[in-house]
Structures are given as structure tokens and as C-alpha cells.
Amino acid sequence: MDIHANMLASWFPERNGSPQDFYRQILEQVQLAEDMGLAGFWFTEHHFIQYGGSVPNPATMITAAATRTSRIRLGSCISILPLRHPLQVAEDYAMADLFSGGRLEFGIGSGNTQQDYDVFQVQRQDSRARFEESAELIVKAWSGGRFSHHGHFWQIDGVELHPLPLQRPHPPVWVAGTSEASLHWAGLHGYDIMTVAHPHPPEKQRAGVAAWKRGLEEGGHDRGALRCQLHARILVDENRERASETAVAAIERYDATSAVRGRPPGAAPIAGEPGYDWDAMAAAGRNIYGTP
């Protein structure tokens, strides 16, 4: 098992100071993670809201972090493919891979915020198809040489990408998701996957991971060479009471900030609301805090 850190860059002025101060703090955390021996550090992509919105383009953050580190892997968690032209994404992340000396982990997905699609004027009902075609086009562009592409959303004739990423044939590709359909697609293509523990009970995660494994087998890929990443909210302290106090406050702040994206009717209570079951969340591993 490899241990990574994931940065959801939510800026709180009263805690972080200016935006410039906040970016400096993030880079210091990446340096600390490398010094501690963590295997990777990941940056999410969000737009227009406090919830993670300080990093609208993870490729830029990865490039900055690459100049301050030498060993730790640096990942996007995720690049929201339907929102951008795939060749622009391919260029940005090729540069990030080069700046990092071939340390890029390319995480991709469709995002989870309706406002992103509204502001960028992209039809969300097309997100799955746009995501799959975009991923195909990026990998094709990274293969090198002049290429053409004739799909549903993009028509490209005789283009050559500059620069190309350092890692060949391309950086590792990670697909974020929970559904059986999206993770099965990842398996068919031989991609790694990432899931998140706290939004869903474990039984919902298991079905998607099983679908990924089926996809790997159907696609003829070596399961032993591919990875499944689970994001968990973890806080460790030598003092159990202090761990609980710190984690509870952080989870309540996280859930309140996350809620600005909107919540469907009948959604389960979030941390800080009546009915939120702290004990059940801890027992299921959806919130983890305590002593080593």
C-alpha cells in the first residue's frame, strides 16, 4: 500500500491569510509530504466556489510543486475533461510532466458541480460522452507524431502536439468514479481508478471496484500492474481527545463548504446537522481519526 495526500484547496481567509499566503502554504505541505516519505500529492480541480476553487487548473499547481520537490509523484484529482478542449489539456499536462521530470499522475473525471457546466456552457447530459472522447484524444495526442481525430465533439486533421510528456507511452491515467459503468470503462482501457470513502457506504464502492476488475479481465490487462486508490479523511494525533476535537471541526467545515454545490432533495444529513451519525461514519471508515 502506498500513502498519498490529497489537497482540496479551500481558502479560508481567516485561517490562511491572503491567496498568495495560501499557495505558499500548499507548496510547504507538498515539501513536507516529500520529506515524510509519502508517495504522492494530488490537487483537485474546482471552479467559482470556495470548495476547492483555489486550484481551477491542477496542471499549474503541479508545475509549481515540481519546482519545489524532486521525488514525490504529483497528480490531478481530477482534471475535469468535459470542460476544456482536450488538446489544451494534453498540452498543459505534458508541460507538467516535463517540469516534474516524469512524476505526473493524470487523474481524470467529469466533475460533480452543475455550476461548472452552466458557466462554461457545456451540456452536462453530454458529459459522459465528452469525457470518453476527450480521454481518447489526449492519449492519442500524447503518442507522438502527426494525427487526426474525427469524433462526435471534435474534428482534428493533421495535428502534432508540442511538447510531449516525458513518460512514455504516456503518464499513468487514473479514472475517478463510483458507478459500475465508469469504472468498468476504466478497466477496459487498462487505467487505474480512484474512489472516495466518505460520500458513500462501503457496499456502494465495492460494486464499482468489482466492475473495474471485470473490465481489466475483459480488456486483457494485468491486474497486478494497476492500482485502485481510496481517498479517506484521516487525522492522527497522539492524544485521542485532541484528534477527535480537531477532526470533528474540520469535517464540519468541509461538509458545510461542500454543501454550496447544492444538495439533492432527501440528502442525508451533513456533519453539524441533526441526524449525522458520527459513530457509524467512523465504524465504516468514512471518517478516520484517533491515535496511531
26-54 pLDDT, tens digit each: 999 999 999 999 999 999 999 999 899 99
Separation of alpha carbons 59 and 48, rounded Å: 18
The yes-or-no verdict on residue 265 having pLDDT over 90 is no
Mean pLDDT over 71-77 rounds to 98
pLDDT value of position 276: 96
Separation of alpha carbons 171 and 261, rounded Å: 31
Mean pLDDT over 231-246 rounds to 96
In this prediction, residue 261 has a pLDDT band, given cuts at 50, 70 and 90, of confident
The yes-or-no verdict on residue 266 having pLDDT over 90 is no
pLDDT value of position 112: 87
pLDDT value of position 158: 96
Mean pLDDT over 203-230 rounds to 95
The yes-or-no verdict on residue 260 having pLDDT over 90 is no
Q: Tell me how far CA of residue 63 lies from CA of 35, 75, 96, 130, 201, in angstroms.
A: 18, 10, 5, 26, 35
The yes-or-no verdict on residue 177 having pLDDT over 90 is yes
With vertex at residue 55, the alpha carbon angle to CA 50 and CA 61, rounded to the nearest 5 degrees, is: 155
In this prediction, residue 92 has a pLDDT band, given cuts at 50, 70 and 90, of very high
Mean pLDDT over 141-162 rounds to 97
pLDDT value of position 98: 98
In this prediction, residue 67 has a pLDDT band, given cuts at 50, 70 and 90, of very high
pTM of the predicted model, to two decimals?
A: 0.95
Over the chain, what is the mean pLDDT? Answer: 96
How many CB atoms sit inside 10 A of residue 272's CB?
A: 14
In this prediction, residue 150 has a pLDDT band, given cuts at 50, 70 and 90, of very high
C-alpha cell of residue 264 = 439533492
